[in-house]
Amino acid sequence: MGGVTVIFMRLVSVALGCVSAFFAFYTVRLLVVTHFLQQVRSNGHGAYIGAVAFPVIAIAFGWAAVVLWRRAGRAH
């Protein structure tokens, strides 16, 4: 692979890592705001969905970032 491809893969990997960090931050934020889901509005079922979905998304994007970063390293 060419150098441009490696650079592109590394940039995409960094972007995926940023998305992962954003969802990790939002997971922590959700838990702090809701006092670890102890204070949820009467119709706030989205908080429970977010408490499951945000960490899963953060892990998925983080995993994709690591895999892509390593693949770029092997391509170099």
Residue 40 belongs to domain spanning? 3-75
Is residue 8 predicted with pLDDT exceeding 70? yes
Q: How would you class 61 by CB atoms within 10 Å of its CB: exposed for 0-12, middle for 13-18, buried for 19 or more?
A: buried
List pLDDT tens digits, range 12-58.
999 999 999 999 999 999 999 999 999 988 888 899 999 999 999 99
Question: How far is the C-alpha of 19 from the C-alpha of 55, rounded, in Å?
Answer: 12
| pLDDT for residue 76 | 64
List pLDDT tens digits, range 58-74.
999 999 999 999 999 88
Q: Are 14 and 62 in contact (CB under 8 A)?
A: no
- Domains contained in the chain, number: 1
Question: How far is the C-alpha of 15 from the C-alpha of 11, rounded, in Å?
Answer: 6
